[in-house]
A and B are shown apart, each in its own frame.
Chain A
């Protein structure tokens, strides 16, 4: 699953940090907690899945999410 946007993008130097708790982007508003993506990552990992990101400044970002289907397939 992917979420693409045509937004401001993320610079290379920040890409590695955005999933860290309390990390706020340089352009982010001051009032944010910097937890949104950390929560995404934690939840994805709790589901045995993962999230990753590709981005180009001023072009946009693509956040990708992959989660396993789990045991449902076996039941049907």
Chain B
């Protein structure tokens, strides 16, 4: 296995940086089109670094949701997975931490190495502790390095629009990393950084979109519930109201002809109020039905003029009681229109009663 390994690495290293970068660019572009998931972008990056550039170990750091810390994920080829598992076990034994819990502040001032990386510069070291400090102890870092057999680590910032959006830690078993390798890594890091940034922006957008969708669903549901409640209340009120109304007219009959008696006045008052409530209820009911859209229009050819006249005659008592003047002008030659006559009349009566209500006595409509 070891032989195969070194052979693969050799072949990979013989590629020129330029073809590397081209293939990398193609892959990243392709990945951006096909999927923008952050995890998948990281996977693509790891494919390029591990297979394309022939680096054995890779640790990708990207900012967390709140963009306060970089959090990392380890990548390696299948055959080296046991080594990574072993290193992660060592981390867990000593620090009681999982790899996903390792974090580095996004802001400068944490350590010399990270300040360098955050200034968009590559940091190369033979000592993992320089990157792991202060969170990880020196002995743990050298233990991990020994388990993996890593001799050199290159920390390459991932940049997008001139700012550092993450980092790749690349571990190799070579004593040094060549200038050409660093060049191709940096070029790749620029592409990778943009891909990561896009994925993160996309995910944020997606999140906002989902929240919006949820709010919208809640609102619609609330509206429907309110209408349903209105319908229920209106129905509940209808029966007792009808009975009050019936009893009221019976009582009026019982009292007989003397309309001026105090009792008759009281009964009349009750009956008028009930009528008012009934009207309001009908209004509420109508509106609730419209909101739940259980009403459909009954469109039929309608004589607009006679519909208007019908509505006007309904409102006339209101208008006259306030001594207002109502002028109706309807052209004689009105075509028929497809209308729901009752609802059309409702529109007119609502507008007319409103006009009457908000106009002083003796006014004009």
Contact = CB atoms under 8 A, between A and B. Distances in A.
A43 B347 contact: yes
Nearest to A65: B347
Contacts of B351: 3, 40, 63, 65
Interface of A: 1, 3-9, 21, 25, 27, 29, 31-33, 35-40, 42-44, 46-47, 51, 60-61, 63, 65, 67-73, 75-76
11 contacts: A3-B365, A5-B365, A21-B287, A29-B357, A36-B283, A40-B347, A40-B350, A42-B290, A67-B339, A72-B301, A73-B335
B297 interface: yes
Interface size class, chain B: 35 or more
B363 interface: yes
Nearest to A53: B351
Given A21-B287, A47-B297, A61-B358, A69 B276 contact: no
Interface of B: 276, 280, 283-284, 286-287, 290-291, 295, 297, 299, 301, 308, 335-340, 343-344, 346-348, 350-360, 363-365
Contacts of A27: 358
Given A69-B337, A72-B338, A73-B335, 11 more contacts: A1-B308, A5-B358, A5-B365, A27-B358, A32-B280, A33-B283, A36-B353, A37-B354, A43-B290, A69-B335, A72-B337
B286 A6 contact: no
A21 B288 CA distance: 10
A17 B254 CA distance: 48
Given A4-B365, A72-B336, A72-B337, A36 B354 contact: yes
B115 to A, nearest CB: 55
The 8 closest A-B pairs by CB, nearest first: A70-B338, A7-B359, A5-B355, A7-B358, A3-B351, A6-B364, A6-B363, A69-B337
Main secondary structure of the interface of B (DSSP, over half): helix
A44 B351 CA distance: 12
B355 A3 contact: yes
Contacts of A44: 347
A46 B355 contact: no
Q: Which of A6, A9, A33, A76 has the most CB of B within 10 A?
A: A6
Nearest to B295: A46
A8 B359 contact: yes
A21 to B, nearest CB: 7
A59 to B, nearest CB: 11
Nearest to B308: A1
B355 A31 contact: no
Contacts of A76: 336
Contact of A70 (B290, B339, B347, B352): B339
Contacts of A36: 283, 350, 353-354
